[in-house]
């Protein structure tokens, strides 16, 4: 079945450092890919998405590119801020290929950014 693998956390960075959180997936065809962010004490929020190969999703300075050849969707940011401290979840869905509405989530990666 479909699955998502994220890099293990936690990740601790200093402010203004570069961030990469790796995400790879296993699925048939061309699933839609998502990054969600969960700030402390809150629910998950959609951060960005991509629906086809080579698409780049971007939001709040974060970017991720849908790489079909490597089945990856790594999250990147050039300069992190303390306010980026959160848990980040990679997810996929095959809804656009007639699959179910279910999102398959990775286990999450906790990011802490220190001043």
Partner 1 sequence: DAGVIQSPRHEVTEMGQEVTLRCKPISGHDYLFWYRQTMMRGLELLIYFNNNVPIDDSGMPEDRFSAKMPNASFSTLKIQPSEPRDSAVYFCASSSSLGDWYGYTFGSGTRLTVV
Q: Does 14 bind partner 1 (CB under 8 A)?
A: no
Residue 43's alpha-carbon distances to 16, 33, 36, in angstroms, are: 26, 19, 10
Q: Does 23 bind partner 1 (CB under 8 A)?
A: no
With CB under 8 A as the contact rule, the residue among 93, 94, 109, 111 that binds partner 1 is: 93
With CB under 8 A as the contact rule, the residue among 91, 94, 111, 113 that binds partner 1 is: 91
Q: Does 66 bind partner 1 (CB under 8 A)?
A: no
Q: Does 32 bind partner 1 (CB under 8 A)?
A: yes
Q: How far apart (Å, rounded) are the C-alpha atoms in residues 68 and 6?
A: 16
With CB under 8 A as the contact rule, the residue among 40, 42, 69, 98 that binds partner 1 is: 42
With CB under 8 A as the contact rule, the residue among 49, 57, 75, 113 that binds partner 1 is: 49
Q: How far apart (Å, rounded) are the C-alpha atoms in residues 2 and 37?
A: 21
């Amino acid at each position: 079945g479909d699955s998502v693998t994220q890099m293990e956390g936690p990740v601790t960075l200093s402010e203004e450092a570069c961030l990469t959180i790796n995400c790879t997936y296993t699925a048939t065809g061309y699933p839609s890919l998502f990054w969600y962010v969960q700030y402390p004490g809150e629910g998950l929020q959609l951060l960005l998405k991509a629906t086809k190969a080579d698409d780049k999703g971007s939001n709040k300075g974060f970017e991720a590119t849908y790489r079909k050849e490597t089945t990856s969707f790594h999250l990147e940011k050039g300069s992190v801020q303390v306010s980026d401290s959160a848990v980040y979840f990679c997810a996929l869905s095959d809804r656009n290929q007639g699959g179910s509405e279910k999102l398959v989530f990775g286990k999450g990666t906790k990011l802490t950014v220190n001043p």
